[in-house]
């Protein structure tokens, strides 16, 4: 293939040079559609014998940069240098984010920055040649997904997070000032990544907290937000973008509106989001069950069955590898559900009914002695509130439900939630509801931040600089 491309290059250059010296070529016209491209052949040399689709395959392999160089001497190629599908193909195959529809979603929906437009009447006409050029110049950023259980961090040009760390809540004791804990936390992340803070912008994913729409909750969120920005700017970070975890999970699913169900370390939050903004006035539902409770419940079941283990980490690993959500709990009880897994350093473990009884406490919390509504009930309540709110825009904005968090990756959870909602909600409210599993597993918010950080307009429209923060300490930022 490399020889073919080299020959193609040589033929185009030779033919173009000779035809240009002989006489000026007549103007050509190019017609592009979504599916085909008619290429004029007046100065293509031997390539004129190739069908258009084969020629396009060669050009795709060369890449638009090479095509742009060839177009200087080959007039027939000049007309297709701006061909969108050629550049989209190149973005898909050469950018860190492989999903072409993610690029399209980002550039059409998020490029204007926050706040997002309330309603987009039609998609803007985009030149992906220009977008590619802009994206190639984006400096990249440090992404810190500070989840409630543990933090994922890495450079936005990487395919996935490069490391994990304890969350900032574990840095220092509860009496330590928030600024001190955050400064220690961020310094630890930068040391582990072995990068200087003043080199790249940073995107911080912040856990949803202080759920209410009260003045005290707003003040608490503002205090935490100010501490995050102050600690980073005092480390000379050039620009900072802070976005809540639920919104980033929604972006990772290529949506700007919907309900995000984040199963965190301690609690589960059901968060309505409209145009990228958390609708706290509609109501964020909170269930006092999280990943830690499920791990603890499985540990008790294993102890009752005389299964010995050395650490809670082993129990968590078994939960992640063997547990699943039953579509019908009562029917599952009569089945043979034994399965085994070899835990590193501890040998083989065999679980049976514990495999589906553990996540069942999400739907029946009383199994674990917790007095709370089930996950499905909390989601149904949020859907009802969204429907009653009658907000402007798309009436079905809340019918996309995105699951987020490591526990949300358990097989069968999305299907079970959808089944339970069908039973709880009236048909007119349930119609059109779609439950989406975590698009990128436990790292979903990190990938939502990655979509932002590779935008052609990043960091300009999304980040706050030190000067802006100091001038407007109460600036309404992304939260």
70: left (phi over 0), alpha (psi -120 to 50) or beta: alpha
Please check whether residues 330 and 434 belong to one and the same domain: yes
- Would you state the pLDDT for residue 165? 86
Largest CA distance in the chain: 90
Residues 276, 451 contacting (CB under 8 angstroms): no
Please check whether residues 263 and 352 belong to one and the same domain: yes
Q: Residue 452 is encoded by which pair of tokens?
A: 């932002």
CATH number of the domain within which 400 lies: 3.30.420.570
Does a structural domain hold residue 23? no
pLDDT in single tens digits along all 479 residues of the chain: 444 445 554 544 444 444 444 443 333 333 333 334 444 445 555 556 666 677 777 777 776 667 767 766 676 666 666 777 777 777 777 665 556 788 888 888 898 888 887 765 555 677 887 888 888 888 889 999 987 678 999 999 888 999 998 777 666 555 568 888 899 999 999 999 999 999 999 999 988 877 788 888 888 888 888 899 999 999 999 999 999 999 999 999 999 999 999 999 889 999 999 999 999 999 999 999 999 999 999 999 999 999 999 999 999 999 999 999 999 999 999 999 999 999 988 999 999 999 999 999 999 999 999 999 999 999 999 999 999 998 887 889 999 999 999 999 999 999 999 999 999 999 999 999 999 999 999 999 999 999 999 999 999 889 999 999 988 755 444 44
Please check whether residues 379 and 320 belong to one and the same domain: yes
Partners of 142 in the β-ladder: 155, 202
Residues 225, 178 contacting (CB under 8 angstroms): no
Dihedral sign from CA coordinates of 97, 463, 448, 390: negative
Does a structural domain hold residue 127? no
Classify each residue of 185-216 as buried b or exposed e, where b means 16 or more C-beta atoms within 10 Å of its C-beta. Answer: bbebbbeebeeebeebbbbbbbbbbbbeeeee
Please check whether residues 382 and 263 belong to one and the same domain: yes
Domain boundaries, position 66: 2-17+28-90
Please check whether residues 260 and 244 belong to one and the same domain: no
Does a structural domain hold residue 237? yes
3 state DSSP class of 393: coil
Phi, psi of 206 (to 5 degrees): -105, 135
Please check whether residues 291 and 408 belong to one and the same domain: yes
Q: Which of 57, 73, 90 is the last residue of a domain?
A: 90
Number of domains in the chain: 3
CA distance 251 to 275: 10
Does a structural domain hold residue 167? yes
Does a structural domain hold residue 245? yes
Q: What is the pTM of this model?
A: 0.84
Tally of CB atoms within 10 A around 73: 17
* Percent of residues in the chain assigned helix, strand, coil, to nearest 5: 45, 15, 40
Partners of 360 in the β-ladder: none
Query: Which of these, 172, 166, 169, 136, lies nearest to 153 by C-alpha position?
Result: 166
Please check whether residues 233 and 265 belong to one and the same domain: no
Query: Which of these, 194, 55, 208, lies nearest to 145 by C-alpha position?
Result: 208
CATH number of the domain within which 447 lies: 3.30.420.40
- Would you state the pLDDT for residue 134? 85
Please check whether residues 420 and 294 belong to one and the same domain: yes
Q: Which of 46, 66, 90 is the last residue of a domain?
A: 90
List of residues 6+ apart from 183 with CB closer than 8 A = 231, 234, 235
CA distance 261 to 280: 14
Please check whether residues 393 and 378 belong to one and the same domain: yes
Residues 200, 238 contacting (CB under 8 angstroms): yes
- Would you state the pLDDT for residue 388? 94
Please check whether residues 279 and 412 belong to one and the same domain: yes
Dihedral sign from CA coordinates of 457, 222, 381, 271: positive
Partners of 54 in the β-ladder: none
Q: How far apart are the first and last CA of the chain?
A: 50
CA distance 220 to 214: 10
Please check whether residues 65 and 148 belong to one and the same domain: no
List of residues 6+ apart from 154 with CB closer than 8 A = 142, 143, 160, 161, 162, 163, 193, 446
3 state DSSP class of 272: strand
Query: In 106-214, which residue ranges form alpha helices assigned H by DSSP?
Result: 128-137, 178-193
Does a structural domain hold residue 104? no
Q: What is the DSSP letter of 159?
A: S
Q: Residue 52 is encoded by which pair of tokens?
A: 């258009």
CA distance 312 to 316: 6
Please check whether residues 300 and 414 belong to one and the same domain: yes
Does a structural domain hold residue 273? yes
Does a structural domain hold residue 109? no
- Looking from the CA of 12 toward its CB, the CA atoms found within 13 Å total 26
CA distance 39 to 60: 14
Residues 163, 150 contacting (CB under 8 angstroms): no
């Amino acid at each position: 293939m490399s020889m073919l491309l080299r020959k193609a290059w040589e033929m185009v250059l030779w033919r173009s040079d000779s035809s240009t010296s002989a006489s000026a070529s007549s103007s050509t016209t190019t017609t592009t559609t979504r599916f085909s491209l008619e290429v004029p052949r007046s100065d293509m040399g031997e390539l004129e014998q190739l069908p258009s689709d084969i020629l396009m395959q060669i050009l795709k392999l060369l890449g638009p940069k090479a095509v742009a160089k060839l177009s200087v001497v080959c007039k027939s190629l000049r007309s297709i240098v701006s061909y969108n599908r050629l550049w989209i193909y190149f973005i898909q195959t050469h950018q860190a984010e492989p999903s072409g529809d993610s690029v399209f979603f980002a550039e059409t929906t998020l490029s204007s920055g926050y706040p997002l437009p309330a309603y987009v009447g039609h998609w803007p006409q985009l030149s992906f040649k220009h977008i590619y050029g802009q994206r190639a110049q984006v400096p990249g950023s440090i992404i810190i997904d500070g989840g409630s259980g543990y933090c994922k961090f890495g450079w936005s040009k990487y395919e996935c997070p490069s490391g994990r760390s304890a969350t900032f809540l574990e840095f220092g004791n509860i009496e330590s000032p928030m600024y001190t804990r955050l400064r220690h936390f961020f310094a630890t992340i930068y040391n582990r990544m072995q990068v200087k803070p003043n080199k790249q912008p940073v995107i911080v994913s912040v856990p949803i907290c202080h759920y209410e729409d009260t003045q005290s909750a707003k003040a608490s969120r503002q205090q935490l937000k100010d501490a995050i920005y102050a600690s980073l700017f005092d480390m000379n970070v050039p620009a900072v973008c802070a976005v809540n975890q639920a919104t980033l999970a929604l972006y990772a699913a290529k949506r700007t509106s919907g309900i995000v169900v984040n199963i965190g370390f301690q609690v589960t939050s059901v968060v309505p989001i409209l145009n990228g903004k958390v609708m706290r006035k509609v109501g964020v539902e909170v269930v006092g069950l999280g990943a830690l409770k499920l791990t603890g419940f499985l540990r008790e079941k294993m102890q009752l069955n005389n299964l010995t283990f050395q650490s809670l980490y082993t129990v968590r690993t078994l939960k992640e590898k063997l547990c699943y959500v039953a579509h019908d709990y009562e029917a599952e009880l009569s089945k043979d559900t034994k399965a085994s897994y070899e835990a590193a350093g501890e040998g083989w473990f065999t679980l049976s009914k514990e495999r589906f009884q553990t996540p069942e406490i999400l739907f029946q919390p009383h199994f674990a002695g917790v007095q709370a509504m089930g996950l499905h009930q909390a989601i149904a309540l949020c859907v009802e509130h969204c429907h009653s709110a009658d907000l402007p825009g798309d009436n079905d904005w809340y019918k996309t439900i995105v699951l987020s968090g490591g526990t949300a990756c358990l097989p069968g959870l999305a299907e079970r939630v959808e089944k339970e909602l069908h039973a709880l909600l009236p048909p007119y409210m349930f119609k059109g509801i779609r439950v989406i599993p975590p698009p990128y597993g436990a790292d979903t918010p990190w990938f939502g931040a990655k979509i932002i950080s590779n935008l052609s307009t990043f960091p300009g429209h999304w980040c706050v600089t030190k000067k802006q923060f100091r001038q407007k300490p109460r600036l309404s930022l992304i939260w």
